[in-house]
Amino acid sequence: MSKRIGMEIALAAAEAVALCRPDVIAAYPITPNTHIPEHLSDIVAEGRLDADFICVESEHSAMSACCGASGTGARAFTATSSQGLAYMSEVVPIVSSMRLPVVMIVGNRALSGPINIWNDQSDIMYQRDCGWISLFADNGQEVIDMAIQAFKIAEHRDVMLPVNLNLDGFQLTHVVEPMEMPDQKEVDAFLPTYKPFAALHPDNIVSMGTLALPEIFNETAKVKDEVLKDSRKVILEVWKEWEERFGRKYEPIISHKARGADILLLTLGSMGETAEVAVEEMRKEGVSVGLLKLKLWRPFPFEELRKELKGCKALVVLDRAVSYGGPGGPVFSEVRSAMYDQAERPLIINEIIGLGGRDVPVSDFRKIIEKAAQALKTKPKEEYEIFGVRGS
Amino acid sequence: MEKKKKWPEDWQDLNPGCMVFNPGSAREYHTGSWRAERPIFDESRCIQCGVCYIFCPEGCISQKSNGCFEADLDYCKGCGICAHECWPKAIKMIEEG
Amino acid sequence: MSIVENFDLYAPRLVDKEEYFSAGHRACQGCGEALAIRLMCKALGKDTIIVNATGCMEVVSTMYPTTAWNLPWIHVAFPNAAAVAAGVEAGLKVLRRKGRIADRDVKTVAIGGDGGTFDIGIQALSGTMERGHNVLYVCLDNEAYMNTGIQRSSATPFGASTTTNPAGVASLGKGQWKKNLTEIMVAHNVPYVATACHSYPIDFMNKVKKARKVDGPSFIHCLSVCPTGWRVPSAHAIKMGRLAVEAGVFPLYEVEDGKYRMTYRPEEIKPVEDYIKSQGRFRHLTPEQIAPIQERVILEYNKLLDKVDNLHSWEELLQD
């Protein structure tokens, strides 16, 4: 039976991962996600989890050790943020091309420089093209649920891809929330023992990580792309099963009163919960506004996005990262590209908010919604805006 | 005779992660075509010590049933190590004709 | 010609006939590293998993869709052979404990070139050795970043010309002495550390067998002649290794629990000039430049002998 708990979300994430019975955990501390590997090592030390916790000497080695462990057929897990993710980024695309189902939790934190330990999404946006399945959690419950789902999705024989689960650093990692924690029996029933497609062992000889000449590389790229796109089917199946077992529904994009609204906000991560408050307030005041919360970032949910945007007049995409000198926020540029060919598409505006942990209160979201309403009358001059910059 | 196709015809035929399940399949590639010189084994001088077998980087030298050694010319790259190391000078490198 | 060590033990029958590293690999003619791998695998046997760093050996042996390896093998990236090996070792340990794989010993062996071990890979190596994983790390040292075209590494010997440290009017090639990674490994309290060379195949294979038995980290530094990079004829690959040992440039020794032991002690040390003069990468060196090299070689050799003669094993020290 699931238990109702009140716990720091990072600790709850560790508990949820422990329920999945990982075999090897290799992680390096980095604020703000340190509590996740710390708590996992506590759980191992307490004898509650039979796993090998490798105190690696860097994040690059953390991801490398996960590759090695996953190659032998062990269930491997790591967690990191920001600079750690950047440091391991040499290995990150290799994991997906080697089809190793490693699960990683990223406590989203700003990428340096300047150095900043607080929350934004620039670290994961920097890894956009890595070929991993990418999920975003808005609150503690989603963190627990998606951490457990991640293993099942990754290890599915039709997928065999690594998964990263993103939660906002400090905003979620260090926040205490009431959540439902499933019990070991429920998770065991949902998530069976990992049966690898191939494993390093002398009884069945395999070479992993071979060299691909130009004559074959294009085909390998096609495979990587198609497999990631096709994983959507499995993700939806897993979410359906989750709903049947645990009663909580997950979709690639969760709509909050978006149907029929003129103005829509699109958020990733915990800012969605603050946006929701602003949306509710302004709806009461008669503004036609709704909210879309993106849960599935890769593979990109083209179908769901286009469906949700039917009839929308203005869409504000809220980014927490900037592609400097480029088309603004990464989510914005992808959404705009996804909508480009549609016969009907809304005015798409980009507001880049909350960089480096800058607080974005409800009042800022209200301003953003008002600006969107104004934009319907006079189109904004700039491609995108970094919201709330003093002096601009 | 139809030459075996080197590359899969279809991207869907690729092994996941480019894994190779055929150990030792590198043997399909005959490195012997690289040679400029080849070893000639003089059995009258051979003392069957096996030094040539030990020092061949290709591992293409093997012992025959009469105890003497020969190089598999499909793979021999003609490096000359066996000739250089052979004690009784039973191996000579001659130019590939 | 010098005697091959342990000739009286030498019979093809004693060496495992199985070729775990098959022919058909695309290494250069006379590649010392390929030979070293071939010999190493014979000493390891089939219950081995190889973790390979990016480098010559990985590139020449596994061009999809073929592989030269008759052993389970994984390659991830350049600096992380030791880290991946740590993961493989941990995975095997846990899976065996949980009964998900066969209950028998399978050794994890990481191999890397001098680039992937001395330089870019030293962090992962240090971490894996320090944490005490049951991993044998074999460094196949051809003294430069050969795969990318002969660039200087910290393992390149003093005075060698490489493409990033070339000899010229303003430079004599590499101006620093070779990094002593073997000592760094001893300082990590690795229970078994050894130097070896493919030119002494039985010595090398015995060391590999010994290292394999260690239930913990072990490290073998194997000098591998690269005829292409050292600018020697391919037929001289074995001879060069021998000369390196006999000139005292690359002494063969092992350190077991802190006790140093020479495994081959040449009766007399040849002049380093014999070694230097036979290689194209040193051809620019003048006698005035060679003299300090000779002095330093003798110094380093004497430093080693001093350790061999005077240092005690950890066990002996405990009893004092």
DSSP string over C282-320? GTT--HHHHHHHHHHHHHHHHHHHHHHHHPPPHHHHHH-
Nearest by CB to C30, from B18, B75, B79: name it: B79
Question: Strand runs (DSSP E) across B1-97, as ranges?
Answer: 37-41, 61-63, 69-71, 91-95
What are the distances in angstroms from CA A9 to CA A85, A174, A358, C271?
Answer: 20, 6, 20, 68
* pLDDT one-digit tens code per residue, A265-306: 999 999 999 999 999 999 999 999 999 999 999 999 999 999
CB of A343 within 8 Å of a chain C CB? The answer is: no
**CA pair distance B12, B25, nearest whole angstrom:** 21
Q: Domain ranges in chain B?
A: 42-97
**CA pair distance A234, B4, nearest whole angstrom:** 36
ipTM: 0.95
Q: What is the mean pLDDT of residues C121-149?
A: 96
CB-side neighbour CA atoms (13 Å) of A319: 26
What pLDDT score was predicted for residue B1? 43
The residue of chain C nearest to residue B47, with distances taken between CA atoms, is C11
3-state class of C282 per DSSP?
A: helix
CB of B86 within 8 Å of a chain C CB? The answer is: no
Measure in Å the smallest separation between the Cα of C125 and chain A Cα atoms: 10
Q: What residues in C contact B57, CB-CB < 8 Å?
A: 27, 30-32, 34-35, 38, 237
**CA pair distance C138, C107, nearest whole angstrom:** 13
Measure in Å the smallest separation between the Cα of A227 and chain B Cα atoms: 10
What are the backbone angles phi and psi of residue A375, rounded to the nearest 5°?
-65, -25
Q: What is the mean pLDDT of residues A137-159?
A: 97
Helix (H) or strand (E) holding C43: helix C32-44
Helix (H) or strand (E) holding A318: strand A314-319
Measure in Å the smallest separation between the Cα of B32 and chain A Cα atoms: 21
Closest CA to A181 of A246, A240, A135: A246
Nearest by CB to B31, from C23, C201, C233: name it: C23
Radius of gyration, alpha carbons of chain B:
18
Strand partners, A121: none
CB of A229 within 8 Å of a chain B CB? The answer is: no
Residue B44 CB contacts under 8 Å (≥ 6 apart), including other chains: B90
Output the six-digit token pair for C231.
């600018």
**What are the structural domains, with CATH classification, of chain C?**
14-319 (3.40.50.970)
Mean pLDDT of chain B: 91
Q: Give this prediction's pTM.
A: 0.95
Mutate to test the interface with B, among A223, A225, A227 (most CBs of B within 10 A): A223
Provide the CATH topology of domain B42-97. Alpha-Beta Plaits (3.30.70)
Output the six-digit token pair for A363.
């009042």
* One fold for A3-246 and A253-386: yes
Strand partners, A135: A165, A296
Q: What percent of chain A has pLDDT over 90?
A: 98
Q: Are A109 and A237 in contact (CB under 8 A)?
A: no
Range of lowest pLDDT (A35-39, C13-17, C137-141): C13-17
- Banded model confidence at residue C139, pLDDT cuts 50, 70, 90: very high
- Contacts across the A-C interface (CB distance below 8 Å): 171
**CA pair distance B89, A126, nearest whole angstrom:** 62
Q: Go through A126-163 and write b for each residue having 16 or more CB atoms within 10 A of its CB, e for each that does not.
A: bbbebbbbbbbbbbbbbbbbbbbbbbbbbbbeebbbbb
**CA pair distance A247, A313, nearest whole angstrom:** 33
Residue A98 CB contacts under 8 Å (≥ 6 apart), including other chains: A67, A71, A208, A209, B17, B18, C76
Output the six-digit token pair for A34.
């340190």
* pLDDT one-digit tens code per residue, A42-91: 999 999 999 999 999 999 999 999 999 999 999 999 999 999 999 999 99
What pLDDT score was predicted for residue C249? 97
CB of C73 within 8 Å of a chain A CB? The answer is: yes
**CA pair distance B18, A391, nearest whole angstrom:** 53
Q: Is the confidence at residue A166, as pLDDT, over 90?
A: yes
Contact check, Cβ <8 Å, C130/A64: no
What pLDDT score was predicted for residue C135? 98
Measure in Å the smallest separation between the Cα of C166 and chain B Cα atoms: 27
* pLDDT one-digit tens code per residue, A340-388: 999 999 999 999 999 999 999 999 999 999 999 999 999 888 889 999 9
What pLDDT score was predicted for residue B2? 47
CB of A210 within 8 Å of a chain B CB? The answer is: yes
> Kind of pairing, strands C171-172 and C252-256?
unpaired
Helix (H) or strand (E) holding C231: none
Touching subunits of C (3+ CB pairs, under 8 Å) are A, B
Q: Is the confidence at residue C185, as pLDDT, over 60?
A: yes
Q: Is the confidence at residue C4, as pLDDT, over 70?
A: no
CB of C145 within 8 Å of a chain A CB? The answer is: no
Helix (H) or strand (E) holding A79: strand A76-80
> Kind of pairing, strands C259-264 and C252-256?
antiparallel
**CA pair distance A88, A63, nearest whole angstrom:** 6
3-state class of A111 per DSSP?
A: coil
3-state class of C87 per DSSP?
A: helix
Q: Is the confidence at residue B96, as pLDDT, over 90?
A: no
What pLDDT score was predicted for residue C12? 53
Return the CATH number of A253-386, one of 3.40.50.920, 3.40.30.10, 3.30.9.10, 3.30.420.10.
Answer: 3.40.50.920
Q: What is the mean pLDDT of residues B63-71?
A: 91
The residue of chain B nearest to residue C62, with distances taken between CA atoms, is B26
Contact check, Cβ <8 Å, B17/A219: no
Q: What residues in A contact C87, CB-CB < 8 Å?
A: 24, 26, 54, 64-72, 76
Q: Is the confidence at residue B60, as pLDDT, over 90?
A: yes
- Banded model confidence at residue A16, pLDDT cuts 50, 70, 90: very high
Q: What residues in A contact C48, CB-CB < 8 Å?
A: 202
* pLDDT one-digit tens code per residue, B4-25: 667 888 999 999 999 999 999 9
**CA pair distance A203, C101, nearest whole angstrom:** 10
Which residue in the block uniquely carries the two structure tokens 């390149």? C156
Q: Is the confidence at residue A172, as pLDDT, over 60?
A: yes
* pLDDT one-digit tens code per residue, C24-61: 999 999 999 999 999 999 999 999 999 999 999 999 99
The residue of chain B nearest to residue A201, with distances taken between CA atoms, is B21
* pLDDT one-digit tens code per residue, A339-348: 999 999 999 9
- Residues 27-56 (B) with a CB less than 8 A from some CB of A: none
**CA pair distance A199, A250, nearest whole angstrom:** 32
Helix (H) or strand (E) holding A101: none
Higher pLDDT, C109 or A113: C109
Q: Are A189 and A246 in contact (CB under 8 A)?
A: no
Q: Is the confidence at residue C11, as pLDDT, over 90?
A: no
Closest CA to C103 of C93, C89, C111: C93
CB of B65 within 8 Å of a chain C CB? The answer is: no
* pLDDT one-digit tens code per residue, A314-339: 999 999 999 999 998 999 999 999 99
What pLDDT score was predicted for residue C7? 45
- Residue B87's CB is within 10 A of a number of other CB atoms, namely 15
Return the CATH number of A3-246, one of 3.40.1620.10, 3.40.50.970, 3.40.50.150, 3.40.50.300.
Answer: 3.40.50.970
Angle between helices A140-155 and A9-19 (to 10 degrees): 30
Nearest by CB to C95, from A55, A57, A74: name it: A74
- Banded model confidence at residue A105, pLDDT cuts 50, 70, 90: very high
The residue of chain C nearest to residue A56, with distances taken between CA atoms, is C127
Q: Is the confidence at residue C15, as pLDDT, over 90?
A: no
* pLDDT one-digit tens code per residue, A190-220: 999 999 999 999 999 999 999 999 999 999 9
Q: What residues in C contact B83, CB-CB < 8 Å?
A: 235
Q: Domain ranges in chain A?
A: 3-246, 253-386
Angle between helices C81-97 and C122-130 (to 10 degrees): 30
Touching subunits of A (3+ CB pairs, under 8 Å) are B, C
